[in-house]
Structure 1
Amino acid sequence: MWSEFNNRIFSLACKTSIVTDDDKNYITDTFRWLRNNSSDSNDINKQNLLDNGLIKICLWYFEDYFREDNLSRSIILQFLSNFSMNNKNVQEQIFKGFHKKIRVTFLSSNDAKLLNTSIMILYTLSINNNELRVQVLQDDELIKEVFKKWEKAELEYCKIFLDSIFSNSKDFFIIYKNICSQTQSDLLEILCIWLEHYEEEVSIDVIDTIGKKLFMEITYFDEVKNSVLNILAKSSSISKFKSKFDNDPQFLKKIIDLLKYVHERSKNNNEFSEVKNLSTLFSGSEIISHSRFCFKSDIIRLISNICHNNLDNQNMIRTEHVIPILLECCSFDAKNPLMREWSIVALRNILNGNLNNQTFVANIDAIGPIDQNSKIAF
C-alpha cells in the first residue's frame, strides 16, 4: 500500500511542469485515492514525503492548476487533513504551508463544499495543537465569517467549530477578547441559540466563566450586556447549569442589586423606562431593537429560577426587600415582554414552602412602600 502511495505522489510531482487538460481527471482521481488511503500511512513515511516537497506539490495544484476547479481543491484539502491525522508535527508543517491559502479560500469562496472543507481542515489541524489553535481563534476576520455562515446546512464544520468553542472556556475567551464589541455581541447571541437548541454542546465551565468575568467582575451595571443576562437567564433554567447559580449568595446579591438599579431608573425617562403601549411591539422594530429590550424580564427570570426550591435564596429576596419590587413588576411593559408573567412565577417560587415569605406578602399593606434607605447607591 505504501509503495503505491509513494508512486502516486511521485506521478503528481512529475506532472507539475507538463500537466495538460487531458490529465485533469487522472490527477483528481489520484488525490481522491490519496485522501482515502493516507490515514493508514506511518509517521516516518509521512515525514519523508513532507521532506521531499509534498506541500509544495499540493500548493501548486491547489493554487494554479485547479484554481477554477473547486471540487478538486476540496479533495486536496481533504487529503491533507487525513494525511495529518494524529501527527502533531505533520499538522504543524501543513498548517505553516497551507494556512494562508486556506484562510483566503474561506474568506473569498462562494462554493459551499470548498468552504466547508476549508474550515474543516483548519479545525482538524488545530484542534489538538494549542499554538495553532490560538492562531485560528485570534483571527478576527475568519471568526466573523464563521458567525455569518454557521446556519447554512451545507457548512456543517462551521457548527462543529462553534461546538468546540462553546465546550471550552479558554477557547471562548481567546475569541471574545480579540474581537470588537459588535462581534462580541454576535458571539453571545449565537451562544444563546446554542442554549436553546444544542445545550449538550455547551460546557458548564463556559457558563460559569461568563457569569464570573462578564457579570460578577463588571463594576458598573450600565455595562452589563443584554446577551450576557439572557445567557444567564436561559442557563439557570437548565438542570445541567442550575447548581452554578443556586448556591452562590454573592451572585444572587448582585442580581438583586441590578434589579433595584433598573427598577429605580425605569421610573425616569431613560433606557430602562417602561413602555405601556402594546401596539409599539407591532408598529415597527424600534422597541424590539432597543438596547435594553427584555433586560428587566431576564433579571426577573433569573431570580425566579434561582429561588426555585431554594429556601436560602427565597429568604434573601425577602430580607433584601425585593418582593415589593416584584409585585410592582406584575404589569405590562412592551420593552420587557413576559415581565409580568416572570414576576408572577418568581413570586410563586419565592413563596413556595416559605412561611416567612408568605406572611410577609400577607401583611404587605402594613409594610408600606419600599424603604428608601434600603436602596443601593450607584
Structure 2
Amino acid sequence: MAAPSEESDCAGFSFGPVEAALAALEADEEPGRRLERLREIMELLREQQHRETASERIFRSIQHILVTASREVELACQDDSRRAHLEPQLQLIAECFRCLRNACVQCPGNQGMIRNLNLIGTTVRLMDLFQKLDIVQESHWTAFRCSLQFLGNISAGNEASQQAVWRDAFPDLFLYCLCHPDEKVVAYASMILFTCLSTERLRDLQTQNLGVALRVIEAYRKQPESEWAFLIILDYLLKSPELVKSMYTKLSHPERVTLLDLMIAKLLGDEPLTREDLTAFLSHAELVASNFQEKCKSVLKLASAGHDNDEEALATIRLLHVLCEMTANCELLGPLQAFPGLLETVVEILQLTHLAGKQTPNVFTATACMRGDGDVSNPAMGFKSHLVRLIGNLCYKNTKNQDKVYELDGIPLILDNCSMDDNNPFLNQWAVYAIRNLTEQNKRNQELIAKMEDHGLADTAVLKKMGLEVEKRDGKLTLRSTKKGPSCE
C-alpha cells in the first residue's frame, strides 16, 4: 500500500520535460535551482507513464545528491555551529525522497532499480544521522517523514525490497520511530513494519528484539486511532502466543489493558476467528486465566479510599472481561471450563466483592439509581456483572461445574445479586442467565432453589423474572423453567 502523499495532483507531462529537468539538475550546483528541478521531477513522477519510463540515471542522480547531503548532515552532527546552515540540504533531501516515493508507486521496475542502487541502505544511514542530529525543526522532521514514506512505498508489494528494509532497518529504526514525538513518523514507521512483517519475521520480534513489539503496544496506547499499529497487533502479534506471553510480563499495567482491549476487539470482530486464530487464543486463554487467578484480589483495593485508580486492579478487571468474551466462544469455552481452579476463583471473588459492598459504602455497593448508564467514574463498573456472566458461561452444559457452584454456596450468592445495580449494568439479566445454566438438567440445584423459595429465602418475583417457578408435585418441590433452554453468551 502506498504511503500518503503530501502534495496535490498535477497535470501530466510528456517525457521531454523529465529529461530536461534531469539535465538541468545535473548541470546546476546551486541548491535553490536544484530544488526546483527536483520538484519538477517529483511532480512528473506522479504520472504512471513517466514512472514506467524513468531511467536509472534519474535515481543515480538522486543518490548522488543524498550522499552529498549526508556528508553535510554528518558534519553538523559533529559541529553544532553547522546546524544553522543545514536548511537548504534538508530541503533537498526531502525532495529527493519525494521523488523516490513517487517513483515507487505501483512500479516494480523502479522499486528494483532503486533497490539495486542500494538506496535503501543509503536512506537508513541518513536516517541514523537524523537521529543523532536530534533537532526539533520542521524541515528536519519533513525530510525524516519523506524518507519513511519512500521506505514504505518501495516495500509495498515487493518481497525483495521488504527483505532489504528489514535487513537494514530492524530493529534500530523501528525502535526509534515508534516512540517518536511526531505522530506522522510513528504512523509511517508502523506502516513499514506492517508491510514488512511475515510469519518468519514475526519470530525476530521475539528472538532478536522484543522491544519493537512493546513499542507497537505503546504507540497504539498513545494513538488509539492508529490503523497500522492496530493491524500489526491483530494480524501478527496476537497470532504468536509465545510473543504475547513474553510481552505481557514486560508491559506496564496500562499497556496490558491496551493489549487486552485488542484481544476483545479480535474476539468481537466482524470476521470469525480462523483456525490459526483459535489455536493462538487457546494459549492466550491460559495466560489470561492464570493471571486473573493470581491478581483477582487486587480488585478489592478499589473498595478503599485513595485506590480508585489502582493500575493493577484496572488491568485485572480487563482480564475478567476478556475471559467473558473467550467463554462466549464455544471453541474456547471447553478448555476454560476445565481450567484448574478458575471457577472457584470467580465464585470466591464474587463473594468477597459482594461482602465488601455490604460492609461499607464503596465501589462494590449496589446502587439503584435507575439512570441506566451507571457511574462512569466507578473503576469497578460492571465487575460483578462480568463475574456472574463468567460463572454462567463456565456452567453451560457442564454438570461438574454446576455441582461445584452448589458446593461453594454460589447459588444463594447469585440469587442475592439479582437486584438492580446501576454500577453493574445487566447484572439481573446475567444472574437469570447463570441460574438457568446452573439448573439445566441438574435436579439437585433445582431442588436447592425450590427449597429456598419455600423457606422464603428466594424471592418469587425474582424467580419469575428468571423464567422459573416452583411447583409441588406429590409433596415434593420442583423448579420448572418457563422459557427455552440457555446457550453460551
> Which bracket does the TM-score occupy, shorter chain normalised?
0.7 to 0.9
2:413 aligned with 1:325: yes
Identity of aligned residues (%): 16
Match in the other structure for 2:214 = 138
Match in the other structure for 1:149 = 223
After the TM superposition, which of the residue ranges 191-200 and 248-257 deviates more from structure 2? Answer: 191-200
2:281 aligned with 1:204: yes
Match of 2:331 among 215, 235, 240: 240
C-alpha RMSD over aligned residues: 4.1
After the TM superposition, which of the residue ranges 270-279 and 244-253 deviates more from structure 2? Answer: 270-279
CA contact (8 A) 1:304 1:349 kept: yes
- CA change 1:259–1:48 in 2 (3 A) is same
CA contact (8 A) 1:274 1:334 kept: no
Structure 1 spans left out of the alignment, 5+ residues: 371-378
Match in the other structure for 2:256 = 184
- CA change 1:273–1:217 in 2 (3 A) is closer
Residue 335 of structure 1: SS of its match in structure 2?
coil
Q: Deviations over 1:205-254 (max 9, x none)?
A: 35313334312334845466111111111221122321222233522122
After the TM superposition, which of the residue ranges 200-209 and 346-355 deviates more from structure 2? Answer: 200-209
Match in the other structure for 1:269 = 360
2:294 aligned with 1:217: yes
1:319, distance to aligned residue in structure 2 (A) = 2.2
CA contact (8 A) 1:259 1:296 kept: yes
Match of 1:116 among 187, 192, 196: 187
After the TM superposition, which of the residue ranges 171-180 and 87-96 deviates more from structure 2? Answer: 87-96
CA contact (8 A) 1:262 1:272 kept: no
Q: Which amino acid aligns with 1:333?
A: D
Residue 421 of structure 2: SS of its match in structure 1?
coil
Match in the other structure for 2:147 = 73
Match in the other structure for 2:108 = 37
After the TM superposition, which of the residue ranges 115-124 and 199-208 deviates more from structure 2? Answer: 199-208
Structure 2 spans left out of the alignment, 5+ residues: 1-53, 70-87, 301-311, 459-489
Q: Which amino acid aligns with 1:161?
A: I
Greater C-alpha radius of gyration: 2
Mapped partners of 1:262, 1:23: distance in 2: 61
Q: Deviations over 1:123-159 (max 9, x none)?
A: 42653523455121233xx5333123233xxx42122
1:86, distance to aligned residue in structure 2 (A) = 7.9
Match of 1:308 among 396, 404, 413: 396
1:160, distance to aligned residue in structure 2 (A) = 0.7
Q: Deviations over 1:105-140 (max 9, x none)?
A: xx33344xx54322122342653523455121233x
After the TM superposition, which of the residue ranges 351-360 and 265-274 deviates more from structure 2? Answer: 265-274
Mapped partners of 1:334, 1:138: distance in 2: 37
Mapped partners of 2:410, 2:121: distance in 1: 72
Q: How many positions carry a matched residue from both structures? A: 353
Residue 397 of structure 2: SS of its match in structure 1?
coil
Mapped partners of 2:121, 2:353: distance in 1: 66
- CA change 1:48–1:172 in 2 (3 A) is same
Mapped partners of 2:93, 2:317: distance in 1: 57
- CA change 1:47–1:369 in 2 (3 A) is farther
CA contact (8 A) 2:357 2:365 kept: yes
Q: Deviations over 1:147-206 (max 9, x none)?
A: 23233xxx4212211202333333333333333323333333343344333663674135
- CA change 1:103–1:356 in 2 (3 A) is closer
